[in-house]
């Protein structure tokens, strides 16, 4: 039903052009869309208005980065931005020196440099042998609340991700299996019980998944850069997951991608950042620049919502907790964007909290975590690690 509603609008709309500029590693373009619809009778208008109401409800379906429903009957502008610059990331020795001299806070609270501490923590997490991220959140729009529960579990041989989202209107239950062979098995269902009923498996390549979801569900991997096009909005092209292969490559545009978060954190994608001391470590706050650091999330939303164009972020704020060694503990993201369908502009707020774990084995805090078969509909083992206050 969702795709048929979108189809109704797409038949009434007509795109009119794409303008772009690009550079070797980062590309910015404006996509201007002019939509014109034919004359509509009162009955047709009523039908479309009812479709819009249902469409806004569907807009709430959330994933790891949330979903938004964004399409218009009027001229709109969206920004495309591909970032691959993480800025200068401090070394462990440098951090130890700042801490020993009691200058870490002064150093990184000057000239908006605190975000580099987050990148240090993200790259540190990506380098671990086994990692687990478990998340819970909500999206609120038009008086309807969508709840989201998801996980990404990385092992040396396989990566597993799962997302369950539900509201009084709609629900989704998706699983992805990446056996590190440059393709993924994906299962998109309405509810988790469908996993036990021989669901359809879609096999996709890494590059196809990156184009539709922004990033792979991995720690670090390596890419080259390609030219932006409307069909391929993400300019990353998968190269390898092997650092030695990356180092041996002669590709001039080769670069690393950190995918612990969907957001891009760097000097051109962060508006402001700060760090403060806590009892257990440090708190890092990052204001992500809308439509720059959030672009890969917008791509994910456009795909998963079956949208005609990208959702428009108005703000994105991250609060990250790390321990004394800058190991990730948790992060909370509060995103605000607008779901637009025809004459309806529905503000949406997403509040999402993730918890991070690392290990040398498949056991985290005495909880052994296994990758479930697609037919297994029992609760994912890793969810036992949610703090008691969130259960």
Instruction: State yes or no: pLDDT of 8 exceeds 60.
Output: no
Residue 248 has pLDDT above 50, yes or no: yes
Q: Indicate if the pLDDT at residue 16 is higher than 50.
A: no
Separation of alpha carbons 233 and 292, rounded Å: 13
**0.95 exceeded by the pTM?**
no
How many residues does the structure list for the chain?
A: 391
Looking at per-residue confidence, does 345 or 355 come out higher?
355
Average pLDDT for the chain: 82
Tokens, residue 214: 């922004």
Residue 82: both structure tokens together: 């591909």
Q: What is the DSSP letter of 327?
A: -
With beta carbons less than 8 A apart as the criterion, state whether 282 and 322 touch.
yes
Q: Distance between CA 326 and CA 305 in Å, rounded?
A: 35
Looking at residue 86, what is its pLDDT? 93
Residues contacting 184, CB < 8 A, separation 6+: 176, 177, 178, 203, 204, 205, 206, 209
Predicted pLDDT of residue 54: 47
Each residue of 149-200: pLDDT tens digit? Answer: 999 999 999 999 999 988 888 889 999 999 999 999 999 999 999 999 999 9
Cβ count within 10 A of residue 81: 22
- Tens of pLDDT, residues 255-311: 999 999 999 999 999 999 999 999 999 999 999 999 899 999 988 877 776 556 678
Provide φ and ψ at 209, rounded to 5°.
-65, -40
d(CA 52, CA 255): 42
Which residues neighbour 146 within 8 Å (Cβ) at sequence distance 6 or greater? Answer: 60, 61, 62, 138, 139, 140, 165, 166, 167
Average pLDDT over every residue of 349-367 = 97
Q: Where are the alpha helices (DSSP H) in 139-186?
A: none
Does position 5 have pLDDT exceeding 50, yes or no?
Answer: no
Question: Model confidence at 116, in pLDDT bands (50, 70, 90)?
Answer: very high
d(CA 224, CA 175): 27
Tens digit of each residue's pLDDT (9 = 90 or more) over 80-105: 777 778 999 999 999 999 999 999 99
| pLDDT at position 291 | 86
What the block records as the tokens of 137 is 């959140």
Of 47-51, 102-106, 161-165, 312-316, the least confident: 47-51
Between helix 42-58 and helix 2-12 the angle, nearest 10°, is 130
């Amino acid at each position: 039903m969702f795709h048929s509603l979108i189809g109704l609008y797409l038949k009434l709309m007509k795109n009119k052009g794409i303008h772009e500029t690009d550079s070797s590693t980062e590309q910015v373009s404006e996509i201007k869309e002019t939509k014109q619809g034919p004359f509509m009778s009162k009955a047709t208008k009523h039908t479309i208005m009812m479709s819009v109401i249902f469409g806004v409800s569907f807009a709430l379906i959330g994933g790891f980065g949330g979903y938004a429903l964004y399409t218009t009957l009027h001229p709109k502008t969206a920004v495309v931005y591909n970032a691959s610059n993480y800025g200068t990331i401090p070394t462990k020795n440098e951090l130890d020196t700042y801490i020993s001299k009691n200058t870490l806070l002064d150093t990184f609270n000057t000239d908006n440099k605190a975000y580099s501490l987050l990148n240090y923590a993200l790259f540190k997490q990506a380098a671990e042998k086994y990692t687990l991220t478990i998340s819970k959140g909500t999206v609120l729009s038009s008086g309807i609340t969508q709840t989201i529960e998801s996980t990404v579990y990385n092992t040396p041989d396989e990566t597993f991700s799962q997302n369950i989202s539900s509201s009084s209107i709609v629900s989704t239950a998706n699983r992805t299996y990446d056996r590190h062979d440059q393709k993924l098995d994906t299962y998109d269902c309405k509810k988790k019980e469908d996993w036990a009923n021989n669901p359809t498996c879609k096999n996709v390549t890494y590059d196809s998944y990156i184009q539709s979801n922004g990033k792979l569900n991995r720690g670090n991997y390596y890419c080259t850069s390609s030219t932006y096009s409307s069909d391929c909005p993400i300019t990353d092209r998968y190269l390898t997951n092997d650092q030695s292969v990356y180092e041996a490559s002669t590709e001039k545009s080769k670069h690393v991608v950190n995918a612990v978060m969907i957001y891009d954190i760097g000097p051109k994608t962060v508006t402001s950042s700060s760090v403060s001391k806590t009892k257990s470590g440090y708190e890092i706050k990052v204001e992500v620049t809308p439509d720059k650091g959030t672009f890969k999330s917008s791509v994910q939303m456009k795909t998963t919502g079956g949208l005609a164009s990208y959702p428009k972020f108005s703000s994105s704020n991250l609060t990250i907790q790390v321990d004394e060694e800058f190991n990730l503990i948790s992060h909370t993201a509060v995103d605000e964007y607008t779901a637009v369908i025809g004459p309806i502009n529905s503000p949406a707020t997403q509040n999402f909290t993730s918890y991070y774990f690392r290990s040398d084995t498949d056991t985290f805090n005495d909880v052994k975590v296994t990758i479930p078969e697609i037919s297994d509909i029992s609760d994912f083992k890793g969810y036992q690690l949610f703090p008691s206050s969130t259960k």
